[in-house]
Structure 1
Amino acid sequence: MRRLNNLVTLFTAITAFFFGSFITRILSMADKCPAERSGVPKLEPHPDLFLVILVFSAPANTEQRDGMRETWLRLGQPLKQTYFPEDYIYLPSYSGGHLQMETVASQANRLQQYISWQQQLPKLEQPRVHRNIKLKYLFAIGTQQLGSTLRLELEHEQKEHNDLLLLPQLQDDYSNLTEKLLQSLATITRHYEFSYLLKVDDDTYVKLDNLINELVSYDRKLLRRRSDYAHDPLPELFWGYFNGRSTIKTKGHWRESNYFLSRNYINYALGGGYVISRRLCEHVANNSQLLSRYVSEDASLGTWLAPLRYVYRWHDARFDTAYMPSKCRPYHLVLHKRNPQLMQDLYTGKLCTHEHPGQRVFVSYYYDWTKPADKCCDSIVA
């Protein structure tokens, strides 16, 4: 009888173990399912990534996507540059519980350091081992209410390139850009492990090798200096070209009817291109149901991140991401408002083919975080 009882106990324990394992697996699979709101099918698993490149693209913009695939998305694979000097990397410190942003003088000094380093780069000894920095790029496209012809073209494009992030519950138009950002971040953070995300438009050109090189140096220095932050959280990166004096739009496509927080938009990085860390992506994705949606996608992101005390807002004059281009400079890392031909020109070493005599250009500035919003952007880059 005792032996029978032991056998029953053993059988019960084995059954419970396998049943528990089965339930755990089911729950684990459920946890990895895509967010119901986006309706995006499960993506294939991917190894850990250093950088995800999220490109906002309209369904019909095949030429723009091909232009990016054939030019700057090829840069940095592998990365052949010598390491960008960590001495040129600024890390903010805490004071009174908040991160202290970089001064105008420091921004100007670092730009000159970068220009000098860039000029010396051809003379520097190149590394013997090329660095394989893992990255992935995805073109985010809403497919709700899309015509059958265009849908079929996207299916063919996906079969050929496998780089489209198709959002079936999003109608792709200007009024839905903020929702597009939310759905994209929710899907990407759920399915990929990554350190940073670069968001750009499909008319943006990025000197990807230079940007990755500096981002790697920033990341390495931050991890080595982890102990400097003691019990404070590590800074989370928000890198781009910031605007703090943009007036709230009252007309046209960008008219805002629900932005009551201030007279101007809270400072934000211009949407032509910016980098954010994974933790900030997760913050947005995890709280998407609680966040107010404003018409302007980039202004929305700046508002959502405004209360967080551990955000390092790195204003960088090398991001030419305004609504009109700045005067071309060799130091620019991110250049907005470029068509496929201009991207090809940049890729082959031509700098300023878009400029014409008498054309109006955007004047770049350093951001003065010590000044009120209407005085933040008066320090012009020489």
Structure 2
Amino acid sequence: MLVVFIRRHRSMILASLFFFYLGCGITLSSLRMDCKDDGAKLNYQEENDYYGNVEYAVLILSSPNNEGKRDAIRATWAKFASNIFLDNGEKLYKWNHTWIGRTKQTQFIKFFYVIGTHGLSESKEHNLTMENARSKDLLLFSDFEDSYKNLASKMVTAMKWLNNTLKHLKYVIKCDDDSFVRVDLIVRDLEAYAPHMNGPEIDQYISYKEHLPVYRGLYWGYFDGHANVYTRGKWQESSWFLCDRYLPYALGGGYIVSKSIVDYIARNSDVLRLYMAEDVSMGVWTAALDGINRVHDVRFDTQWKSRGCLPHMLVRHKQTPKDMFDMYRTLVQSHGERLCKTDTILRKSYHYKWDVLPSLCCK
């Protein structure tokens, strides 16, 4: 009987099965789309929660092979961000770092290591992915190959990302992965004095381009205005035509730029000339900006060779991982009072003379 029934109504049964499976397929596709949309919303929410409170971005230019240097920073001076804490909505500084104390992550200060991944081998990309899985602080960009000639491109790409992602950004603290940075003291001074950078506690270290009642931004570091243009070697500027010397710029071992400068670079990235050195490029990009407080500070030890080690220094460039651990150990043992076991002056610093021609700025 069943066989006869199936033969007699075969067309109707096949049609019913077809529309049943079609309906199931449409339903499952809809569910997958809903899940994908929910996942996208979740990822966006997670990113917003992770970056939503960031006001200070520590931007560290690194390279694919420098995981050891990045780990040295993570284990030493990056921990000092916890010395800045909130009290009734106000950010204050207090040394509270110990050997055994667990470092509490500060939501308004975050660290970003910028690396170009274009052309990397599969194994190197895998290593970076694994590193980022544990550290969650790498900015991996496939737009460019990581090399000296692409440092300015790396900076522009990073500025665009920061501008688009960090909606409450105030300042970017830029440095290299061989810089030791007192990020806690820099944020302390920014909170207390920026953008005017005028106060009795810091006046002895600082010289200004000009005094204005209102500033539209801040460019703070150790400036040079009399550097000769490289005509050969890896820093050669074959298309430089602006002057017989570089325009005044803050040396790249460490400097600070305000959100207004980040926004300007991000919005005009397509028409900015990229020079070999990212710090020289920053000097050119900001040269025509009005109302920017350009502040030279002798506490930034960022020249091609270290000037020595003094307790008040905010940045020391050209430091090895061992140097970083030595300074970290000394700071912890002295409760933040001493940077090195022995104060040393290897070369003199200068206060930038903003009221003379750049060639006479830095004697």
Match of 1:191 among 165, 177, 180: 165
Please report how far the alpha carbon of residue 159 of structure 1 lies from its aligned counterpart in structure 2 after TM superposition.
Answer: 0.6
For residues 80 and 290 of structure 1, do their structure 2 counterparts lie closer, same or farther at Cα, with a shift above 3 Å needed? closer
Is the Cα–Cα contact under 8 Å of residues 324 and 362 in structure 1 kept in the other structure?
Answer: no
Is the Cα–Cα contact under 8 Å of residues 248 and 283 in structure 2 kept in the other structure?
Answer: yes
Q: Deviations over 1:193-243 (max 9, x none)?
A: 210000100000011221111111024978xxxxxxxx9863311010000
Q: What SS is found at the alignment partner of 1:179?
A: helix
Match of 1:318 in 2: 299
Partner Cα distance (1:139, 1:235) in 2: 27
Match of 2:111 in 1: 137
Match of 2:236 among 237, 250, 255: 255
Please report how far the alpha carbon of residue 66 of structure 1 lies from its aligned counterpart in structure 2 after TM superposition.
Answer: 0.1
Partner Cα distance (2:45, 2:301) in 1: 35
Which one has the largest radius of gyration? 2
Q: Deviations over 1:175-204 (max 9, x none)?
A: 100100010101111111210000100000
1:154 maps to amino acid: L
Please report how far the alpha carbon of residue 149 of structure 1 lies from its aligned counterpart in structure 2 after TM superposition.
Answer: 1.2
Q: Deviations over 1:140-187 (max 9, x none)?
A: 000000011111100100111110000111100001001000101011
Match of 1:370 in 2: 355
Please report how far the alpha carbon of residue 282 of structure 1 lies from its aligned counterpart in structure 2 after TM superposition.
Answer: 0.7
Q: Higher relative contact order at CA 8 Å, sep ≥6: structure 1 or structure 2?
A: 1
Q: Deviations over 1:279-316 (max 9, x none)?
A: 10010111011111111110111011001111111100
Unpaired runs of 5+ in structure 2? 1-43, 88-93, 97-103, 198-211, 332-338
CA RMSD of aligned residues (A): 3.1
Match of 1:180 among 154, 163, 166: 154
Is the Cα–Cα contact under 8 Å of residues 77 and 183 in structure 2 kept in the other structure?
Answer: yes
Q: What SS is found at the alignment partner of 2:330?
A: coil
Is the Cα–Cα contact under 8 Å of residues 195 and 218 in structure 2 kept in the other structure?
Answer: no
Is the Cα–Cα contact under 8 Å of residues 206 and 333 in structure 1 kept in the other structure?
Answer: yes
Is the Cα–Cα contact under 8 Å of residues 78 and 131 in structure 1 kept in the other structure?
Answer: no
For residues 42 and 175 of structure 1, do their structure 2 counterparts lie closer, same or farther at Cα, with a shift above 3 Å needed? farther
TM-score for the superposition, normalised by structure 1: 0.69
Is the Cα–Cα contact under 8 Å of residues 367 and 376 in structure 1 kept in the other structure?
Answer: yes
Is the Cα–Cα contact under 8 Å of residues 195 and 293 in structure 2 kept in the other structure?
Answer: no
Partner Cα distance (1:371, 1:288) in 2: 31
Partner Cα distance (1:146, 1:160) in 2: 20
1:44 maps to amino acid: E
Q: Give identity over the alignment, percent.
A: 33
1:202 maps to amino acid: D
For residues 248 and 52 of structure 1, do their structure 2 counterparts lie closer, same or farther at Cα, with a shift above 3 Å needed? same
2:84 maps to amino acid: L
Q: Deviations over 1:239-271 (max 9, x none)?
A: 100000011001100000111011110000000
Instruction: Give the length in aligned residue pairs.
Output: 284
Please report how far the alpha carbon of residue 133 of structure 1 lies from its aligned counterpart in structure 2 after TM superposition.
Answer: 6.9
1:326-341 alignment, distance < 5 Å: 326-341=307-322
Match of 1:237 among 211, 218, 226: 218
Matched, 1:74 2:48: no
Partner Cα distance (1:138, 1:219) in 2: 22
Please report how far the alpha carbon of residue 363 of structure 1 lies from its aligned counterpart in structure 2 after TM superposition.
Answer: 2.9
Unpaired runs of 5+ in structure 1? 1-40, 83-117, 123-129, 223-230
For residues 143 and 136 of structure 1, do their structure 2 counterparts lie closer, same or farther at Cα, with a shift above 3 Å needed? same
2:362 maps to amino acid: C
Q: Deviations over 1:103-122 (max 9, x none)?
A: xxxxxxxxxxxxxxx9xx99
TM-score for the superposition, normalised by structure 2: 0.72
Match of 2:132 among 155, 158, 169: 158
Partner Cα distance (1:157, 1:80) in 2: 28
Partner Cα distance (2:234, 2:343) in 1: 27
Match of 1:204 among 163, 176, 179: 179
